[in-house]
Amino acid sequence: MAGARYSRQQYVLGGGSGQRLRAAAVLVSGLRGAGAQVAAALVLAGTGRVVLRDPRGAGSAGCAQQGRPLPPAPQFLLQENDVGQNHVQASQRRLAELNPDVEVTVSTEELSEDFLDTFQVVVLTESPLEEQLRVGDICHAKGICFIVADAKGLAGQLFCDFGERFVVEDPAEGDLLYATVQHISQGNPGIVTCARAEEGRGHRFSDGNLVTFSGLEGMTELNGCKPCPVRVLDTYRLEIGDMSAFSPYRCGGQVLQVRLHQEHSYESLRQALAMPKIPVKSSAELQRSRSLHATFWALHAFREERGRLPQPRAPADAERVLELARSLGAHLGPLDEDVVRAFASVSAGDLCPVASFIGALAAQEALKAITRKLLPLDQWFYFDALECLAMEGAAGLTQEDCEPRGSRYDGQIAVFGANFQEELGRQKFFVVGAGAIGCELLKNFAMMGLAAGPGGDITVTDMDTVADSNLHRQFLFRAADVSKPKAEVAAAAMRRMNPAVKVTAHQNQVGPGTEQLYGDDFFQQLDGVISAVDTLEARAYLETRCIRSRTPLLDSGTEGARGDVLPMVPPLTKPLQSATGSTDGTFPLCTLRYYPNAIEHTLQWARDEFEGLFQLPAESVNQFLEELPEEPAQREGLEVPERVWRSLQERPRDWGDCVRWARRHWQSHYHDAIAQLLHTFPPTHESSPGVPFWSGDRRCPHPLTFDPSNDAHVAYIEAAARLWAQTYKLPTCSNRTATQDILCSMVLPPFVPQDRLRIPTTEGTDAVEEAADPGQPMELTQDLAQDLAQWRQELGGGMEARVMEPIHFEKDDDAHMDFIMAASNLRAENYGIPPADWLTSKRIAGHIVPAIVTTTAAVAGLVCLEVYKLVWRCQVLSCYRISTLFLSECLLLQVEPQQPPTYWYRGKEWSYWDRLEVRAVGANGQEMTVRELLDWLQREHGWTVSKLLHGTTMLYDAEDDAETQARQRAQKLSDGMERAGALRQLELQYLCKGDTEEECPPLLCILP
């Protein structure tokens, strides 16, 4: 699937997913919350044809409020201007706007055999059980992938049947694993020892992974062998099969993961209903899931019996559902009757977060069916957030509290009551990030009515603008929004969905530089902060601010098909865990220049080459010319930096010069430099007696010989020559034959190695050498000055004209990636490293985080369920959930947050959240002095402070002389500090006389 729109998605679904998606046709039946989410995700993903069908018929959208109809809350595709119109047609128009590549149509046909036969995937939502069984039988018989998704109240259900012989071509997400081989023992079993990678990391294989080998010298029988399983012994060693009959291992090579096709068989819904196959991790989860299974089944029976779902909080209805569940699920074992009653009592509710979550999971399963990438669900999945009903305020709700009010929020009121809905409207939230997760959150907030009442407000900020690559996973953006501020576009879309919502958009970074805007007062008046940022630094800063202000923080993030939700609720939970093991993607210069052993090294080398060839020289030339005196007399003796001199000397006049320059550059890097390295350190060189120099993570390279008929060689020449021509503002040529003619006519001098050239073997010596040779400046000559003037004249500019065009690397520019991939793969060939394809090269070189709309929508749904708990001001730790989602295998792991850590100080146990607070107003009504604060600590706590600090600034030190102490005591607390408008609080550290403890409660001074 070409183009930047789907670039991030391809890393989740695979490079070949685009063609299959374009050829696919999917039926989505049911267009309430879950169905709308499924349809939107499939359209954004680029599915060729999406057909909408609503079993409720083509009625008009809306419900009444004070005589005015409004769109139903979970259906985010509808807006107020759609009220009174055909809701299916209105949904179709909104979906069609999302992606011009997708044909979105509406059908009113019956679900007949002939009709269903035109689809690869059929998704049923809001469907009665009888219809599910009938359609499921047809799809199973015809090999049509069949999905049922249902969301009711605080629970959701998902079922998949992909036929009796469904082949998964790639069952896992992410790149294949590999490691450099250091040694293989000649035994039974053989032991593979892997070389240590950057940052001390070993291999990342798991027990049972299938592997093969390449590039081994000695034990060559393993090169290209059939995939064999490994057993992990430790961080660096793997156990494989019998190696005793193989030749001895000498050096080199890699162990490579292999993923084979898998065939899966599924039962039809009719077969799977009675004894459901539910993948779970524990017996307690199995009982809960079976209880939900029986309840969903019983709700179908209840609706068939009564013509409706159970009324909210109606005990008699809930008991009847329990009776039906006991009868229908008798063979499932004992049910959790509390779960059945709780679910039944709110099953008539419609909650946007639950619909978002279940719809996203269903859409991901549909994408698996189409692309045959990742493991499909086998076969049932159940989800609930019934812990929300255990919160104080929710537990005591009555049937009257949850009666419908003729409001767009009636589905939510059915679960949480009318008073809660009013409280939702009064909330003040800060959303940091309006990207993939941020957009889904704002969409859900609009449907929930967050900040849609008196006093409510949502502030959303994002520095970025909308890009093409955002369009495949962000429902609030359209193609016309590209280059506009994300936060403003998202806020405007949110207002269209629900005009009552109060939302303010900013384009600010949240950090130390904006504390005047987002200071203590701002954070303390918030009900919650939502972190949807994409850097660890931003996450850490937000956590620090929320800890300081004791404001609840919900942190969320995704990478490909994985998502995480982390709640931090003062004073209940421990603070968020700081990320560990992160890397900024840098590698030792010595490794990049001389000893690469992984494709990441060659790609980073290519990135550095790009900057060093096409950006920095042009910037240096332009800067030199900008600073060049206009008067010739003032130029005499002026030094010209070596980089500028070289750029001017290498200036091409036409395309042929650019090709010749690229050819010389190719020869220098891929032949001469490698030949010199091998001259200094021959393949047989030893670091010390008996220890080969080229071993472990040092791969012995070989020089390449240029071949004008080799596509890879010519591709590099073309890519480099194009960029070189662009920097000098010259036209390019796309005629490969003409380029090859120029190449064939070139004769380069033979390489002559240098005998005493010093090549570093460690990073330390490399750094010394780099610092010692920055390049010598040259003197500006009259001829060179005249050449510069003529060059400017040719470009039609005066002294201010920029003679060169610096090129900044852009991962979504194909011309840039042409060079990066060609340069990297040629260097990989030098060192015997397996090359990377286009997608992999772009992801690594561009530091791209894989992303897909299904993960972001599911994570946003989970975040919003935690928002409900914050709105209730829930102080029960067991009600909150830390969630880790793996859509690649339809797995959700949820645990309760941990309690905050405690410590002992001066005979008392303190919590992490405990602190001393003092209103720092002195006797004169002004800000306290240091003396007054010390007296307060002595008076209130009996503590004699010996040291008082603010950060690294010493405010008081009892070890200083008497004069210094007197001066310190007389100072106001904030003396010597910048009193910015946001400075209303000081957090001080102290040490008391006789202290032996390492930790003490912080001291917060509220300034007047």
Place of tokens 């929508």: 857
Q: Are the CB atoms for 106 and 93 separated by under 8 Å? A: no
Task: Choose, from 139, 402, 590, 658, the residue flagged as catalytic.
Answer: 590
Residue 648 φ/ψ, nearest 5 degrees = -70, -35
Answer whether 425's CB lies under 8 Å from 438's CB.
no
For 509-559, what is the HEC assignment? Answer: CCCHHHCCCCCHHHHHCCCEEEECCCCHHHHHHHHHHHHHHCCCEEEEEEE
Beta bridge partners of 121: 26, 145
d(CA 894, CA 884): 6
Contacts of 62 by beta carbon, 8 Å cutoff, 6+ apart: 69, 70, 71, 72, 78, 82, 83, 84
Residue owning tokens 């991030």:
8
Q: Is 590 a catalytic residue?
A: yes
What residues contact 383, with CB distance under 8 A and at least 6 apart? 155, 156, 157, 158, 354, 357, 358, 892
Paired tokens of 268 = 């039809």
Q: CA-to-CA distance for 202 and 182, rounded, in angstroms?
A: 12
Q: From residue 314, how far is each of 3, 345, 391 by CA, in Å?
A: 53, 6, 19
3 state DSSP class of 62: coil
Residues 236-251 as b/e (b if ≥16 CB within 10 A, e otherwise) read: bbbbbeebeebeebeb
Cα–Cα distance measured from residue 124 to residue 134, given in angstroms and rounded to the nearest whole number? 12
Cα distance between residue 268 and residue 143, in whole Å: 11
The set of residues, in sequence order, having a beta carbon less than 8 Å from that of 672 and lying 6+ positions away, is: 703, 751
Distance CA 942, CA 934 (A): 10
> How far apart are alpha carbons 345 and 340 in whole angstroms?
9
Q: How far apart are CA 10 and CA 841, in angstroms?
A: 13
Quote the CA–CA distance of 361 and 160 in Å, as a whole number.
Answer: 11
- Find the distance separating the first CA and the last CA of the chain, reported in whole Å: 60
Cβ-Cβ contacts under 8 Å for 863 (sequence gap 6 or more): 353, 437, 441, 530, 554, 556, 565
- Amino acid occupying residue 854: T
What residues form DSSP beta bridges with 264? 166
CA distance 103 to 105: 6
DSSP 8-state assignment for residue 615? I
Q: Rounded to whole angstroms, how far apart are CA atoms 434 and 439?
A: 5
Q: Amino acid identity of 896?
A: E
Could you list the active site residues? Answer: 590
